Structure 1
Amino acid sequence: MMNIYLEIGSKRIFACAADWLGWCRSGRSEEAAIQALFDSAPRYAAILHAFQLDFEPPASA
């Protein structure tokens, strides 16, 4: 379980991980933004592991 927040604009919605600075993705709907956030978890994990920071990507949205 992780905390996320949404920034809702007129054309795009951003889903961001509250506890992980810089981990945000956008979509045209809330569902699309959240899915994009979770789909990017392996790339985000690779960056954090390169800096020896512990991060376990969530299993699913």
Structure 2
Amino acid sequence: MEIRDRVRNVTDQLDRHYAAPGRHWFLDEPEHERARSALAQGEAYVFRLYDTTTCYMLSARPTGRTR
């Protein structure tokens, strides 16, 4: 599963207020560039979403393969 799919799944389950950062993430090109850069350097990328009681840590790790 791609991180975009997981962000969408989690965001769809959160209340509007807590979902806002996830919805913004889909359009945040500088953040996407940070993710691409981290993965290209062999590092993991982590995006966090919060609600009142939970922190959702969504991550992508390089696999060493290209599509």
Alignment TM class, shorter chain as reference = 0.3 to 0.5
Q: TM-score, normalised by structure 1?
A: 0.37
Q: TM-score, normalised by structure 2?
A: 0.35
Structure with greater contact order relative to length (CA < 8 Å, sep ≥ 6): 2
- Identify, as 1 or 2, the structure richer in helix: 2
* CA radius of gyration, larger in: 2
- Identify, as 1 or 2, the structure richer in strand: 1
